[in-house]
Amino acid sequence: MRIDQLRERSDLGVITTATLKSLGVSNPWHRCASGGPWQRMYPGVVLLHNGPPTQDQHLTAALLRAGPGAAVTGAEACRRHGLPARGRELHLLAPAPVRGSGRLVVERASPMPPTTTVDGFPLVRPARAVVDACRQLRSADEVTALVAAAIQRGRCTPESLREEARTHRFGAKLVRSVLADLGRAESVAERDARRLSRRIRLTTPHWNATVVDARGQVVGRPDAWFDDVALAWEIDSRAFHCGARDYERTLARNTRYAAAGILVVQTLPARLRTHPDQVATELRRAYEAAGARPRPAVRIAPDDPAAPRGW
C-alpha cells in the first residue's frame, strides 16, 4: 500500500502497528530503524515520518497507546482549557491498565470522569485537569498560581476544586493544603500580601472590598483596604498593565482614588518576595501618612460578587 493511502488511514500521520499489519505492512518496526522513513512513538504506535512530531501528534500517539475511552488530564488538558500549566508529561486516564512510556503517564480510572472534546481531543473537565496537574507539582507557589488562574478565568470554582481534591487519595495533599491556605485570596501575590500584612500587624485589612464615596459611587476594589485610615493597597503586576486598556483602567482607578482623598500604595508582586522588608516599611509609612490627614468620607459597600476585579 502506498504511503499516501497509509496516511489516509492514520490520524495526523499517527497509526498503530496493528492497523499497519492489517493493511499489509508486515514489519512496521523495520521502517522505524535509525535512518528509516518512520519513527516509533510508543509501543504499538508509529508516526509515518521521521521529523519532529507536533504536540498534536504526540497527544494522538499517546491516546492510541492508552486505548479506547482514554482521556487527557493534567497539564496538557489544562493548557487546552486555556490555563497556564507547567509540565511536559502527557497524563492520560484510561479505563484499563496501560503501561506508560517516556513522557507518557497513563493512570487507570474507574469509573472514567466526564469529558469534553476540545479541538478533537477528549479532555477531562477543568477541575479534574487542574487537580491532576497539581499532583505532579512539588512547589506550593506553582500549585497556587494554577489554582488561582483556574478560578480567576472562570474555568473552576473553589468548591469544584476542593471536591475534586477530596476524591484523590494519593498526591493531592499539596493542592488540598494550597486550597485551604488560599481561602479568598485570588492570586499568589495576594496570598503573599496577606502573609506580609499579618506580619507587620497594622489593622486587619479588608480584602477585595468594594469602596464607595459619600454619594455611594464605586471608587475601587483594592486588593487590601485599611478602613480605619482609608488606605488602599494594590498588588499590580507589569503583565496586568501590558495592554493599553489595562493601563487606562489603572490610571482611571488611581484618579478615582485621588479624587476621593484615598491614599494608595502600589506594589509589584515580585517585590513581596524579593524585598518584603522594604514593602513593609512603605506600607507602614503610608499607613501613618493616611492616619495623619482627615479621613475622607468613603466606606465599604456590601459585598457585590459582580463587581469587576481591578476596577
| pLDDT tens digits, 8-55 | 999 999 999 999 999 999 889 899 998 899 999 999 999 999 999 999
Predicted pLDDT of residue 240: 40
Same domain, yes or no: 155 and 247: no
Distance CA 13, CA 4 (A): 10
> Would you say residue 311 lies in a domain?
no
Residue 3 has pLDDT above 50, yes or no: yes
Of 157, 182, 207, which closes a domain? 182
At residue 297 the predicted structure's pLDDT band, cuts being 50, 70 and 90, is very high
> Would you say residue 167 lies in a domain?
yes
Q: What is the CATH number of the domain that holds 296?
A: 3.40.960.10
Same domain, yes or no: 106 and 174: yes
Same domain, yes or no: 19 and 118: no
The predicted model gives 66-79 an average pLDDT of 96
**What range does the domain containing 227 cover?**
188-300
> Would you say residue 16 lies in a domain?
yes
> Would you say residue 305 lies in a domain?
no
Same domain, yes or no: 146 and 114: yes
The total of structural domains in the chain comes to 3
Helix (H) or strand (E) holding 118: strand 115-118
Predicted pLDDT of residue 188: 67
Same domain, yes or no: 48 and 71: no
Same domain, yes or no: 227 and 284: yes
pLDDT tens sequence across 152-162: 788 988 889 99
pLDDT tens sequence across 157-197: 888 999 999 987 688 899 998 888 765 545 667 778 888 88
Same domain, yes or no: 93 and 47: no
Of 182, 217, 232, which closes a domain? 182
> Would you say residue 265 lies in a domain?
yes
The predicted model gives 203-216 an average pLDDT of 89
Beta-carbon contacts of residue 248 (< 8 Å; ≥ 6 apart): none
Residue 311 has pLDDT above 60, yes or no: no
Sheet holding 218-220, edge to edge: 218-220, 211-212, 299-300
At residue 309 the predicted structure's pLDDT band, cuts being 50, 70 and 90, is very low
Same domain, yes or no: 128 and 195: no
**Can you say how many angstroms the Cα of residue 275 is from the centroid of all Cα atoms in its chain?**
26
Same domain, yes or no: 177 and 88: yes
Predicted pLDDT of residue 305: 45
Same domain, yes or no: 76 and 158: yes
Predicted pLDDT of residue 159: 87
- Residue 218 phi/psi, 5° resolution? -65, 130
The predicted model gives 238-263 an average pLDDT of 76
Of 155, 182, 209, which closes a domain? 182
Helices (H), the chain: 3-9, 17-22, 55-66, 74-80, 126-135, 140-152, 158-166, 173-182, 188-200, 244-259, 269-274, 276-292
Q: In this predicted structure, which of 69-83, 98-112, 226-240 has the lowest mean pLDDT?
A: 226-240
What pTM does this model have? Answer: 0.66
The predicted model gives 230-246 an average pLDDT of 66
Same domain, yes or no: 149 and 199: no
Q: With contact defined as beta carbons under 8 Å apart, do 73 and 93 qualify? A: yes
